[in-house]
């Protein structure tokens, strides 16, 4: 069943080797929520720069991560696939200052700044995708995605000061219990779609 989150800390536990030998049998059922996932985003900061009709673009980058935690049942193996989207899709992004002046900006999923971060469905936008496998050894997993931003040059900002914009980050994920006989490799993978 797909789960959607809008907008953690990862924990690790080191157990003695004898604990692995006493592993419980896999549960006979899949809980209603075999895993919970959350988004960790920072305030994207383009830094300081002068914006005039002759100014070059201002580039910035930051990260957004997805952390999934498996339900606390011994023997439970869960595969989680997700898609990380951003709205509004480009080119509708604007930031404003206190005087209600606006500057356009864009968010990208690639360092070349050619693939706009969006919902992956609106023409010309892409989303981040990933998969985590959670079991008794890896109860919490995190994937980090690099986000690239740009304030196009040549925009006239008449007044200096802070400029703010908002991007809603949406996480759609599907946790699926994997049977004890299911063949799955442990690990994580991420990409762009």
Kindly report, residue by residue over 106-135, the tens digit of the pLDDT: 999 999 999 999 998 888 899 999 999 999
Secondary-structure percent of the chain, ordered helix, strand, coil, rounded to 5: 5, 40, 55
pLDDT, residue 157, reads 73
Q: List the structure tokens of 49.
A: 């720069």
Any idea how long the chain is?
A: 193
CA–CA dist 109, 116 (Å, integer): 6
pLDDT, residue 35, reads 95
Confidence of residue 182 (pLDDT cuts 50, 70, 90): very low
Unique residue bearing structure tokens 């930051």: 62
Alpha helices in 30-168 (DSSP H): none
Q: What is the rounded average pLDDT for all residues in the chain?
A: 79
68/93: higher pLDDT: 68
For residue 51, which of 152, 181, 167 has the smallest C-alpha distance?
152
Choose the weakest-confidence range: 5-14, 69-78, 168-177.
5-14
36-78 per-position pLDDT tens digit: 999 998 888 887 777 788 888 989 999 999 999 999 998 999 9
pLDDT, residue 5, reads 42
Unique residue bearing structure tokens 């995190």: 142
pLDDT, residue 66, reads 97
192/92: higher pLDDT: 92
Contact by Cβ (8 Å): 52, 156: yes
């Amino acid at each position: 069943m797909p789960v959607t989150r809008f907008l953690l800390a990862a924990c690790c536990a080191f157990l003695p080797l004898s604990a692995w030998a006493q592993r419980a049998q896999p549960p006979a059922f899949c809980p209603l929520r075999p895993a919970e996932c959350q988004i960790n985003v920072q305030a994207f900061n383009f830094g300081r720069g002068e914006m005039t009709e002759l100014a070059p673009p201002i580039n910035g980058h930051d990260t957004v991560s997805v952390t999934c935690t498996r339900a606390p049942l011994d023997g439970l193996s869960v595969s989680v696939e997700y898609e990380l989207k951003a709205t509004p899709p480009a080119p509708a992004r604007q930031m404003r200052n206190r005087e209600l002046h606006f500057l356009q900006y864009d968010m990208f999923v690639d360092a070349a700044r050619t693939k706009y971060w969006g919902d992956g469905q609106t023409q010309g936008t892409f989303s981040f995708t990933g998969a985590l496998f959670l079991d008794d050894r890896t109860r919490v997993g995190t994937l980090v995605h690099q986000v690239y931003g740009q304030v196009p040059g040549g925009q006239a900002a008449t007044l200096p000061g802070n400029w703010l914009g908002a991007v809603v980050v949406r996480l759609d994920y599907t946790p699926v219990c994997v049977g004890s006989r299911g063949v799955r490799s442990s690990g994580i993978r991420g990409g762009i779609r």
